[in-house]
Amino acid sequence: MSRASTPGTEAASRYPRFGVEEEFFLLDPADGRNVPLAAAVLEALPASARERSKSEFLASQIEHATGICETAADAREQLLEFRAGLAAASAAVGAVAAGMGTPYRAEQHPTLSPGARYAELAERHATLIDEHQVAAVHVHVGVPEPDAGVRGLRMVAAWLPLFKTISGNSPWWSAADSGFASWRTVLLRRWTTGGCPPAVADAEEYAARSNALVGIGGTRDEATVAWDVRLSSRYPTVELRVVDAQLTADDALLTALIARGLVSAAIRDPDAVPAYDPELVDAAIWHAARFGLSQGVAVPGGEGLASVGAAIEALLGALDSSADDLAVIERGLQRVLEEGTGAERQRAAAGDGGWDALRPYLEDSLAAS
């Protein structure tokens, strides 16, 4: 099992601090189409929630960022508080806010949020913008110095297929079932960069490899090097980006705590960081995006595909987590095994009723505690 410590403040301070960014779609209650109401929803939010939220690339999206968190309880409280405010604000302006990686029914030509940066990205990517309707959970885990950050990045990169396996939550495209657990993954593969980062040796090599991409295709700066895990260009953190936007706060928290435990292990024990082949990880991410929990998952050091249960057991052994975090992680993983990923839960909720059946489930899930 993981190298767990005892719960409490002392245990919390031993582990890296972290933060969670969640993106949400605003949907039309009538048909599930994403609607450009972010400005109105932001205005309707309570002041405390508005301070840590903004519109995203699309005017039909809201992003919320927690403060820097020491404990799982702190992060969960912030996630739930914002989600409750978002539910009320979106209802007040006639929209449904939902944590999902793609909208149920995508706009044909989505409205972008205002700003020169977004306009330039749209110009560089041409008609790709029309289908770039995706939302994510991003997790930032603090690192003490850049080389430790690279170790954390490598540790998380090796486990990207399992992250995708347990977090696929974008089954819909144009009001139809895509057949994928994460259609968002497929949409993102069309951009200049994405997927698994290179297996670099240290921070100097990371900087050289990422800087070499700037100016090529749609990569206008370091912040648009869009690997599924990267070193943040703004903060001293490892940034996990592979996770689809999640139905519930607990779904998002699960992925955050796993990321924290992996980065912590890499910081404390460089020998714990496994080797990985980026092309194999990329193929395994596609596999996970397509099949979710149903057809096995690639794990570091393994050959072929392991069962999801075996992969989870290996993951738990790789974590450096507090007893509190480990308890939350184990409950969350058990819930995924019993109830399915977000994609599976969405499909079950929709059944034969389509959007009319799915909408109340999304509304109930947003601020569920």
Q: Which region among 65-69, 118-122, 154-158, 307-311 has the lowest average model confidence (pLDDT)?
A: 118-122
Based on its alpha-carbon atoms, the radius of gyration of the chain, rounded to whole angstroms, reads 19
- Give the distance, in angstroms, between the CA of residue 90 and the centroid of all CA atoms in the same chain: 22
pLDDT at 105 over 90: yes
φ, ψ of residue 28 in degrees (nearest 5): -75, 125
* Other Cβ atoms closer than 10 A to 120: 12
Task: Give dist(CA 280, CA 196) in Å, integer.
Answer: 9
In the chain, % of residues over pLDDT 70: 97
* Other Cβ atoms closer than 10 A to 277: 12
**Per-residue pLDDT averaged across 293-315, rounded?**
96
**Per-residue pLDDT averaged across 235-248, rounded?**
98
Given this model, what pLDDT does residue 114 score?
Answer: 85
> For the chain, what percentages of helix, strand and coil (3-state, to nearest 5) are there?
50, 15, 35
Cβ-count burial 352-364 (b if 16+ within 10 Å, e if not): eebbeebbebbbe
What number does CATH give the domain 9-366? 3.30.590.20
Domain borders along the chain are 9-366
Q: Find out whether 284 and 298 touch, Cβ atoms under 8 Å.
A: yes
Given this model, what pLDDT does residue 11 score?
Answer: 53
Given this model, what pLDDT does residue 247 score?
Answer: 98
Model pTM score: 0.95
Q: Which region among 50-54, 244-248, 342-346 has the lowest average model confidence (pLDDT)?
A: 50-54
Task: Give dist(CA 90, CA 70) in Å, integer.
Answer: 30
Given this model, what pLDDT does residue 12 score?
Answer: 58
Q: Which helix (H) or strand (E) holds 5?
A: none
User: Where do we find the tokens 């690192």?
Assistant: 143
* Other Cβ atoms closer than 10 A to 169: 30
- SS3 of residue 96 by DSSP: strand
Q: Which residues, 6 or more positions from 13, have their beta carbon under 8 angstroms from its beta carbon?
A: 70
Given this model, what pLDDT does residue 2 score?
Answer: 44
Beta bridge partners of 139: 20, 240
Task: Give dist(CA 279, CA 197) in Å, integer.
Answer: 10
Task: Give dist(CA 213, CA 9) in Å, integer.
Answer: 42
